[in-house]
């Protein structure tokens, strides 16, 4: 993090930015073709680890969280030893879902259909009326386990139970940097769901500072920085701007004294669907956005989670609520409204391609990696990310 701050100082002093080697063209049909969209759902959202939950949602032993991710119903639990487990929310008997969406505390998982009972690690503990059901090997009829990984106050799950991709390798060391957000110490203030355009149109906006003083001039102001520095760890990218304050003498003499807010400025994206950014609303707030494909190629769903470091007083809550309301407006009424119009224009088929400039390096990285993953077989996927670790910034 100090190294990144020093690089920012260098660019701020020189008045320079990081640029891609060349502009990049992407076929417009990438955003509108249903076959491509179905392939992305299969090869991206059903093969790669997805950010599913925050650690604070399972704060103690015997906690659980039940949700749905990429059309897959999932249960996450912490057992009596605080160990984390992820499982398909589907009984080993007839496939019924065990829990409704939500979170809380639970000692066992019981199917509401025929009362089969499971331990918090998903192992089958009891078959109702076993004496008349018939012989069954309990060890072979537990819940389907899913790969799960926790770090930096975040929880990833891979919805492919047979995946050989190590989630830590997949993150390319990026999760170690995310530890500096101290999300383990945060709590959820509010959460909302927004409808948007094609998931890639939506995600492009999180990787692009170029549009900020134009599209958001009424909300963020026209003086907001738009020149970007893009740093990538495999497919995961942090986009920020050269900060003149970094170049001040006080920072220059002792960059090791930078505070966390200074070190974590910018937008941190986790491929393929997450954005993390900090905001000041009386206290430090962190907005985590999780993007998912919607019900058609032209739709997406974004889960916005606003997190705060502590319990707030009434006046602080009002200020935090105002900030979250503003952020919802910025995304829904400015970013996504523009994206939906973009989607409609591209859907005509009259435009063959779109262009990402050299100053949109984050977007270029995203699309290059998207194509890499789509072209990589299940067997070769682990090697792809192991290679990325060696090349990471």
Q: Is the pLDDT of residue 393 over 90?
A: no
pLDDT at 260: 80
pLDDT digits (tens, 9 = 90+) for 341-352: 999 999 999 999
What value does the CA radius of gyration of the chain take, rounded to a whole number of Å? 22
The residue written with tokens 């503003």 in the block is 326
Mean residue pLDDT of the chain comes to: 94
pLDDT at 243: 84
Strand duo 148-151 + 124-126: pairing = unpaired
Facing residues of 287 across strands?
277, 306
Q: Is the pLDDT of residue 142 over 70?
A: yes
pLDDT at 58: 97
Q: Is the pLDDT of residue 179 over 80?
A: yes
Characterize 306-320 residue by residue with b for buried, 16 or more Cβ atoms within 10 angstroms of its Cβ, and e for exposed: bbbeeebeeeebebb
217 or 2: which leads in pLDDT = 217
pLDDT at 330: 96
pLDDT at 255: 59
**pLDDT band, residue 248 (cuts 50/70/90):** low
Facing residues of 69 across strands?
72
**pLDDT band, residue 154 (cuts 50/70/90):** very high
Residues of the chain above pLDDT 90, percent: 84
Q: Is the pLDDT of residue 251 over 70?
A: no
Q: Could you count the other beta carbons within 10 Å of the beta carbon of residue 296? A: 10
pLDDT at 99: 98
Sign of CA dihedral 367, 369, 370, 376: positive
pLDDT at 42: 97
Assign a CATH topology to domain 2-47+183-391.
Answer: Naphthalene 1,2-dioxygenase Alpha Subunit; Chain A, domain 1 (3.90.380)
pLDDT digits (tens, 9 = 90+) for 13-61: 898 998 999 999 999 999 999 999 999 999 999 999 999 999 999 999 9
Q: What is the pTM of this model?
A: 0.95
Residue 233: which residues within 8 A CB-CB, separation 6 or more? 171, 172, 173, 174, 177, 388, 392, 393
311 or 70: which leads in pLDDT = 70
- How far apart CA 87 and CA 119 sit, in angstroms, is 12
What's the whole-number mean pLDDT along residues 128-151? 96
Q: Is the pLDDT of residue 355 over 60?
A: yes
249 or 331: which leads in pLDDT = 331
Q: Is the pLDDT of residue 184 over 60?
A: yes
In CATH, the architecture of 50-164 is 3-layer Sandwich (2.102)
pLDDT digits (tens, 9 = 90+) for 264-303: 999 999 999 999 999 987 788 999 999 999 999 999 999 9
What are the distances in angstroms from CA 94 to CA 90, 112, 243, 245, 248?
8, 11, 58, 61, 65
Question: What are 258's two structure tokens?
Answer: 């930078």
Alpha helices in 257-359 (DSSP H): 260-263, 314-329, 337-347
Spell out the domain ranges in the chain: 2-47+183-391, 50-164
DSSP category for residue 164: -
- How far apart CA 162 and CA 379 sit, in angstroms, is 11
- How far apart CA 28 and CA 344 sit, in angstroms, is 11
Residues of the chain above pLDDT 70, percent: 96
pLDDT at 254: 64
CA angle 56, 57, 61 (to 5 degrees): 85
- How far apart CA 207 and CA 100 sit, in angstroms, is 34
What are the distances in angstroms from CA 49 to CA 70, 210, 300?
11, 29, 18
């Amino acid at each position: 993090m100090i190294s990144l701050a020093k690089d920012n100082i260098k660019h701020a002093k020189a008045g320079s930015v990081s640029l891609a080697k060349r502009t990049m063209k992407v076929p417009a049909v990438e955003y509108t073709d249903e076959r491509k969209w179905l392939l992305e759902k299969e090869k991206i959202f059903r093969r790669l680890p997805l950010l599913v939950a925050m650690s604070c949602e399972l704060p103690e032993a015997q906690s659980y969280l039940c949700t749905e991710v990429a059309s897959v119903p999932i249960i996450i639990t912490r057992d009596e030893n605080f160990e984390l487990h992820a499982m398909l929310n589907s009984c080993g008997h007839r496939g019924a879902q065990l829990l409704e969406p939500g979170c809380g505390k639970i000692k066992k998982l019981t199917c509401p259909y025929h009362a089969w009972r499971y331990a918090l690690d998903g192992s089958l503990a009891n078959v109702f009326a076993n004496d008349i059901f018939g012989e069954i090997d309990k060890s072979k009829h537990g819940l389907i386990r899913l790969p799960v990984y926790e770090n930096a106050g975040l929880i990833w799950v891979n919805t492919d139970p047979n995946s050989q991709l190590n989630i830590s390798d997949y993150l390319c060391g990026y999760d170690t940097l995310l530890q500096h957000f101290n999300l383990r110490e945060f709590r959820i203030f509010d959460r909302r769901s927004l409808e948007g355009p094609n998931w890639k149109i939506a995600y492009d906006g999180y990787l692009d500072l170029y549009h900020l003083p134009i599209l958001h001039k009424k909300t963020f102001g026209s003086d907001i920085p738009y020149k970007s520095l893009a740093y990538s760890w495999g497919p995961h990218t942090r986009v920020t701007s050269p900060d003149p304050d970094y170049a001040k003498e006080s920072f220059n003499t002792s960059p090791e004294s930078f505070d966390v807010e200074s070190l974590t400025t910018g937008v941190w994206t986790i491929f393929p669907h997450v954005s993390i950014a900090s905001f000041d609303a009386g206290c430090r707030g962190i907005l985590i956005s999780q993007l998912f494909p919607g019900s058609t190629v032209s739709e997406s769903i974004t889960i916005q989670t606003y997190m705060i470091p502590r319990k707030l007083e009434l006046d602080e809550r009002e200020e935090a609520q105002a900030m979250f309301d503003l952020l919802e407006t910025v995304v829904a009424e400015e970013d996504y409204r523009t994206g939906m119009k973009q989607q409609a224009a591209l859907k005509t088929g009259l435009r063959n391609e779109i262009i990402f400039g050299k100053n949109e390096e984050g977007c270029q990285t995203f699309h290059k990696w998207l194509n890499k993953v789509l072209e990589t077989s299940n067997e070769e996927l682990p090697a792809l990310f192991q290679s990325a670790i060696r090349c990471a910034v």
